A and B are shown apart, each in its own frame.
Chain A
Amino acid sequence: MIEFEQVSKKYASGHEALSNLSFSLDNGEMAFLTGHSGAGKSTLLKLIANIERCTTGQVRVAGQLLNRMPAYQIPFFRRQLGVVFQNHHLLMDRTVYDNVALPLIIEGERPKDIGRRVRAALDKVGLLNRENYRPVMLSGGEQQRVGIARAVVTKPKLLLADEPTGNLDPLLSREIMNLFADFNRVGTTVLIASHDLALIARMPFRVMTLKEGQMIRTGKERTHGG
Chain B
Amino acid sequence: MVAKARKGAVARKIRFTERRDAWLRHHKMLAVDSLVQMLRKPLSSMLTWLVIAIALSLPALMYLFLLNIQSLVEPMHEGAQLTVYLEKSVSDKAGMDLAGDLNLRPEIFVADFISARQGLDEFRVYSGLNDVIDSLDSNPLPGVILVQPLNDDLIAVESLKILLESLPNVTEVQLDLIWVQRINQMSQLAKSLVGFLSVLFSMAVLLVVGNTIRLAIESRKQEILVVKLVGGTDAFVRRPFLYMGFWFGLAGGLVAWLFISICYFILRDPAEKLFQSLGDQYHLISLNLTGVLLLLFASVFISLLGSVVAVGRHIKAIEPT
Chain A: residues with CB nearer than 8 A to chain B?
49, 51-52, 72, 75-79, 83, 85, 89-92, 102-103, 105-111, 150
Contacts and interface: CB of A to CB of B under 8 A. Distances in A.
A109 B22 contact: yes
Given A75-B232, A78-B231, A91-B223, A51 B19 contact: no
Contacts of B225: 89
A155 to B, nearest CB: 13
A100 B233 CA distance: 18
Contact of A107 (B29, B222, B231): B231
A150 B223 CA distance: 14
Contacts of A108: 18-19, 21-23, 25-26
B226 A91 contact: yes
Interface of B: 18-19, 21-23, 25-26, 29, 222-223, 225-234, 236, 320-321
Most A CB atoms within 10 A — which of B18, B22, B29? Answer: B22
Nearest to B20: A108
A111 B232 contact: no
A106 B227 contact: yes
B167 to A, nearest CB: 78
10 closest residue pairs by CB, A with B: A108-B22, A79-B231, A78-B231, A75-B233, A103-B230, A106-B232, A75-B231, A89-B226, A51-B320, A91-B223
Contacts, number: 60
Contacts of A109: 22
B222 A91 contact: yes
Nearest to B226: A89
Nearest to A80: B231
Contacts of B223: 91
B320 A102 contact: no
A75 B238 CA distance: 14
B222 A105 contact: no
B22 A72 contact: no
11 contacts: A51-B320, A75-B234, A78-B230, A91-B222, A105-B29, A106-B227, A107-B231, A108-B18, A108-B25, A111-B25, A150-B230
Contacts of A89: 222, 225-226, 229
Contacts of B231: 75-79, 103, 106-107
